[in-house]
A and B are shown apart, each in its own frame.
Chain A
């Protein structure tokens, strides 16, 4: 056996393997196959939504361009945002990473409800088709937040509502599935405080998905019937209120942004100990702070509504609670940095993306505290300062975290290694281009550049307009470089899939359970369900599993 290999023999009374192409790859009940399905589908929507962004940037490269008509520009930013949130980030972090990693990390053979898992996935492609299909009838134009009455003026809003509703159902089912799996199916001996931190992140995320998403479904149904049947919930002329939409929408959508970041936090917590070969600092702090973030996330939604006419006495608690959420988040950053401090760091691609995450996400978190302050937000709401903030946390945070996880678990998922050199090129190009794209947006936002406008010649006097235009041109060029950096990853992935170097069970020398079986794992995951004796990050001690045969001192391949 090669270094780090495990012996895996098939066991009795496990269901027989699926046979035939359809059962193995299309209608699969195997969480690992479903994860790959999510990765591929999300990847496709990432490319489409990214292309929309590049079109938007082309339009904004000058103050009065004609690349896109104003209507098409509105459609572009609406579908870009909606797709990135609901067709890319949430499905990848929950459906792909959650499915791929969590059952293995708890020593289970699959999730609690494999049929529902398959069903959850298959709701996803139709939802995406509905969303992008709305371009054919006139896509929604009011941004991913779709505030009425503007949202009710475009025909595509009904399709948008239906699409996101489907994703919501998928997300709720996945949340319930993951909650039951982690609560009930952990390997013997795996107490809550012996769970890997990615599993903690997945549990809190699953709780948010299961509870908050139903609220979104209600909002979407309300918008749908408002458009199709003229139901007056949001129409002030008939007793309704547009602010009602904002409340109901944001009550879900704020927890949603934590659905989009908590699994990424979990990925960071997995990657750092592996490449520093040290126990993570503050395991309980990181675990409980995830729970704290999940709970607080339900209490801050109105910070998106500071300019909607809310009474001041309402705004104040939201401001304070929003600032407060920086505390559990800061606890994590502190713990991660402390884990790395004076450690023997192996600077592999996954860890590079972690470093990228730590800098960009923290930066985004800081601008979030700025925006949490009502007086600041009143000036910066709907400017590019917000666009900069949200991309620093969602791209700098979630996307860098996603790539860290992809580089880390690619060998486990495919059985092959990605090329390290290409990984480093990808990272540096992406990191530099990302900052070049989004850092200047803070500045032009503070100067008054509004969001969601196709042209900006009318906003500024000539001299300031020259500065703003030049900055926008710089941003556009950087955005194209950022898009191009993804091609490096695509090439790396294809090359690896077609015959990259084979990975053993544990190429990184990590200690969580997914690395204690082959790469990729057999359909039944483990020959014997492991018995867990201790925590997962105690490097230097013997492996904490009673029945796994792997040499813990084996030198990792990379």
Chain B
């Protein structure tokens, strides 16, 4: 199915790579629209509420979420370093940084699980008020995207160990990195919307 990275001439590889990059970026744009629609819904319900947050609700722990955010942002930096290592032909460092990214990503998901269980224990639920509905839907969608991202990263790690990529030809890695940054940036927005604003 895919044009194997190694078996075509440079001109054809560059051409197909260009198509895939544009297609992947358009996919990320449409994914942003998905998040933006839910964010609109959250802001709409919030603006229409007489008092926000709905009275009597436990507040999510801002400081735990702040630490969790740094974990995720840190994983974005480690992924960038991974790409740089690949470009400078440092296979060992690449593997190390990708593993670090995966671990940090999983730590983020763990942090979200702690956050969710704490909130549910305090009666802030998905189907309770619109606060819980918006919070769990948006962060849940984001968490799902992180989960898919972790699988994506594991896949490209395995592909790298199998020798599929070279220092010149590694579009799969580029795509995984862009996707991971995208997930990071969405979290900047969600953290701001739910914990700061």
Residues of A within 8 A of B (CB): 112-113, 115, 172, 176-177, 179-180, 183-185, 210-215, 217-219, 222, 225, 229-233, 238-241, 244, 247-248, 251
Contact-residue size bin, chain B (C-beta under 8 Å from the other chain): 20 to 34
Pick the contact of A113: B19, B30, B130 (CB < 8 A): B19
Contact B26 A176 (CB under 8 A): yes
Closest to A207 in B: B26
Report the Cα distance A162→B18, complex, angstroms. Answer: 33
Residues from chain A with a CB closer than 8 A to the CB of B30 are 172, 176, 210-211, 213-214
List residues of B (21-37) whose CB comes within 8 Å of A's CBs.
22-23, 26-27, 29-34, 36-37
Closest to B27 in A: A176
Contact B34 A215 (CB under 8 A): yes
Whether B11 is near chain A, meaning CB under 8 Å from some CB there, is: no
Contact B18 A232 (CB under 8 A): no
Residues from chain B with a CB closer than 8 A to the CB of A233 are 41, 45, 130, 133-134
Contact A244 B45 (CB under 8 A): yes
Pick the contact of A210: B18, B26, B45 (CB < 8 A): B26
Contact B127 A232 (CB under 8 A): yes
Q: Knowing A112-B19, A210-B26 touch, does A231 contact B133 (C-beta < 8 A)?
A: yes
Residues from chain A with a CB closer than 8 A to the CB of B31 are 214
Residues from chain A with a CB closer than 8 A to the CB of B23 are 112-113, 176-177, 180
Since A229-B126, A251-B37 are in contact, a sample of 10 more A-B pairs with Cβ atoms closer than 8 Å, ordered by chain A residue number, is A176-B26, A183-B22, A210-B30, A211-B33, A214-B30, A231-B126, A232-B129, A238-B128, A241-B44, A244-B45
User: What are the 6 tightest A-B residue pairs by CB atom distance, in nearest-first order?
Assistant: A218-B37, A239-B130, A214-B33, A214-B34, A214-B30, A176-B26
Interface of B is mostly: helix
Report the Cα distance A213→B45, complex, angstroms. Answer: 22
CB distance from B20 to the nearest CB of A (A): 8
CB distance from A357 to the nearest CB of B (A): 31
Report the Cα distance A179→B45, complex, angstroms. Answer: 35
Q: Knowing A112-B19, A180-B19, A211-B33 touch, does A218 contact B38 (C-beta < 8 A)?
A: yes
Contact A231 B127 (CB under 8 A): yes
Contact A247 B48 (CB under 8 A): no
Whether B54 is near chain A, meaning CB under 8 Å from some CB there, is: yes
A-B contact pairs, 12 of them (CB 8 A): A176-B26, A177-B23, A179-B26, A184-B18, A210-B29, A215-B34, A218-B38, A229-B127, A233-B130, A238-B130, A239-B48, A239-B54
Pick the contact of A184: B19, B32, B36, B41 (CB < 8 A): B19
Whether B49 is near chain A, meaning CB under 8 Å from some CB there, is: yes
Contact A115 B1 (CB under 8 A): yes
Residues from chain A with a CB closer than 8 A to the CB of B127 are 229-232
Whether B137 is near chain A, meaning CB under 8 Å from some CB there, is: yes
Residues from chain A with a CB closer than 8 A to the CB of B26 are 176, 179-180, 210
Q: Knowing A210-B30, A215-B34, A247-B40 touch, does A239 contact B19 (C-beta < 8 A)?
A: no
Closest to B30 in A: A214
Residues from chain A with a CB closer than 8 A to the CB of B128 are 232, 238
CB distance from B113 to the nearest CB of A (A): 19
CB distance from B62 to the nearest CB of A (A): 22
List residues of B (120-134) whose CB comes within 8 Å of A's CBs.
126-131, 133-134
Residues from chain B with a CB closer than 8 A to the CB of A183 are 22
Report the Cα distance A214→B36, complex, angstroms. Answer: 9
Residues from chain B with a CB closer than 8 A to the CB of A225 are 137
Report the Cα distance A177→B134, complex, angstroms. Answer: 32
CB distance from B69 to the nearest CB of A (A): 24
Residues from chain A with a CB closer than 8 A to the CB of B37 are 214-215, 218-219, 248, 251
Report the Cα distance A152→B83, complex, angstroms. Answer: 48
Residues from chain A with a CB closer than 8 A to the CB of B40 are 247-248
Closest to B12 in A: A13
CB distance from B23 to the nearest CB of A (A): 5
Report the Cα distance A251→B128, complex, angstroms. Answer: 27
Report the Cα distance A483→B31, complex, angstroms. Answer: 40
Closest to A185 in B: B19
